[in-house]
Structures are given as C-alpha cells and as structure tokens.
Homo-oligomer: A and B are copies of this chain.
C-alpha cells in the first residue's frame, strides 16, 4: 500500500479511535499501541475524526498531537491521514489543513460544510466553500460527502474540482442511498480515489469502481476488515464474502450497542489499547461487553486477529 498518496488500489481505512486514560487525558502510549495494531494489519488510518475519533472533544493541541503521534508511529508504513471534524466555516477547515500539513500527514479529509442549526448551504455556498479550502492548501485532499450534514456534494462539482486541483485526490462518500454513490462513481471513478464510509456498501462500492471503505470496526478487528480487501484483490470470492458478512454483522452489533462506547470497552476488556470515552459520551455496561465478546468468540475473530486471550 502506497503510504504517501492516493492510489487506485483497493484499500480499507480505519477511522481510528482516540484513546483517553481514566482521567480523560489523551493516552499517547495507548494511541501508539493501537496504531501499531492497525499498521501491522495493513490498514490505512484516518485520525481525529468527529465520530469514532471523538474529534469534537479534542482541543487544538490535542488534535495536533494525535496527528504527530500517528506520523511518528506508523508514517511511511501505511497511509496516515487527518480526518478532523465538520467545520462551520471555510476558515476552520483551512486552519485545520494548515496544521495537518505542518505535521506532515500524507493527506487530509475535507469535510462538507456544516453550517449548524439544521441549516443547509446553497449549491453556490458549497462550491465557494470547497474552492476556498482547496485553494488554501497543497496537501493532498479527500473531499467528504456525508449524510450527517443533510446534503450531497454535487458529483459534477467534484469532477470540475478534480480537473482544476491536482491535489484533490479522493472522495469519501457516506450516504445510505446507493444512488449517491453511483453518481459519484460515474463522475470521478478512476480519476479520484473513492471510499464509502462504513462497511454496508463496501462490496457495492468495489463493484462500481470505487477503492474500498472506511471502517470504525477496524479499531476492533483490523485483520478482518483488511481481509475483505485482500480477498477481493486476490480474486478469492469466498474469502471476500465471508469476511465482509462478518464485518457487517460486527458493525450492526457495535452500533446497536453504542458504537465506540462499546468498541473501547471491549478493547479494554480484551487487554488491548483503547481507553475510555470522553464526555459527553458515557461508557457501556458490562453486559454490552459480554454480548460483544461472546459474538466475537463465536465468529472466530480472536484467532483471526491473533489475540492470545483467555476471554
């Protein structure tokens, strides 16, 4: 996997968690150990994201430190990218990219503008935002079109921006409706790297000419998540489908039990680096941990992931 820039090779990226210690401080040793697990499994990493990365709870120094640790620990081995959080203004995203470039990540995601308060920007405002952001950096950028902001980035705009900005290298597409993915693939597949957010559409994406998927599940089971892509590259249909089915089941299980609240608790229970969530999120009950671990064991994931555990 090329560690520096986007490629057209199939791939999976972990949307990395950010480990905190019991006092709520950024836990650098745990972060390093966690990233090491991901790198060994061969998955790329997005750091400091607003969802799985708890990016909205990080102050400026912490957000930078997370990237620094990532570059230092696994840079050059797998792609290390900044994810960041949905910005309210172009200025916020420009500042974030400047910081990320200064730290030396391989690339950074450019979130869609989220004007807040349930508002949606007009198409002209979406375009202005993206143009302002892309003009302000030379860092390789991946534009996100994410349903959480309530609108889609127009595929035709992505094609135009790709023509004009060589450092626009990819798109992350996170929309439940598959039509959004089809439209983006028809507009820029083969020119921009495309990943879908979450595993649900991973096979669909590959079939449409996209490169793969972003996964929070990879924080728990990185080898399993990589196996979907490895199987696909090897032309091994059975492996691709069986791995993918298990990722989807695991995804449903985790999201049904609190998302990374559960992921972190399970990692800790297994003796793996993960830490605790920060407020406003609260931890999960032991029952949740037991239910997830039971599923993992039944699915044979400890062996696949190489956990030497007495769970």
Contact = CB atoms under 8 A, between A and B. Distances in A.
Contacts of A57: 88-89
A201 B207 CA distance: 12
Contacts of A256: 179
A151 interface: no
A179 B113 CA distance: 26
B85 A117 contact: yes
Interface in A101-132: 113-119, 121-122, 124-125, 128-129, 132
Nearest to A189: B245
Contact of A237 (B119, B240, B249, B280): B240
A291 interface: no
A62 to B, nearest CB: 13
B245 A237 contact: no
Interface in A207-251: 207-209, 232, 235-238, 240-242, 244-245, 248-249
A236 B51 CA distance: 37
Contacts of A235: 237-238
Interface in A231-285: 232, 235-238, 240-242, 244-245, 248-249, 252, 255-256, 258-259, 279-282
A153 to B, nearest CB: 14
Interface size class of A (residues with CB under 8 A): 35 or more
Interface string A52-72: 000011000000000000000
A148 interface: yes
Contacts of A118: 51, 146-148
Nearest to A132: B279
A41 interface: no
Contacts of A232: 237, 241
B204 A56 contact: no
Taken together, the copies of this chain in the complex come to 4
A154 interface: no
B51 A178 contact: no
A26 interface: no
A124 B186 CA distance: 30
A209 B241 CA distance: 10
Given A51-B117, A57-B88, A125-B280, 9 more contacts: A56-B89, A113-B280, A125-B282, A178-B252, A179-B252, A204-B248, A207-B241, A232-B241, A235-B237
Interface of A: 49-51, 56-57, 85-86, 88-90, 113-119, 121-122, 124-125, 128-129, 132, 146-148, 176-179, 182-183, 186, 200-201, 203-204, 206-209, 232, 235-238, 240-242, 244-245, 248-249, 252, 255-256, 258-259, 279-282
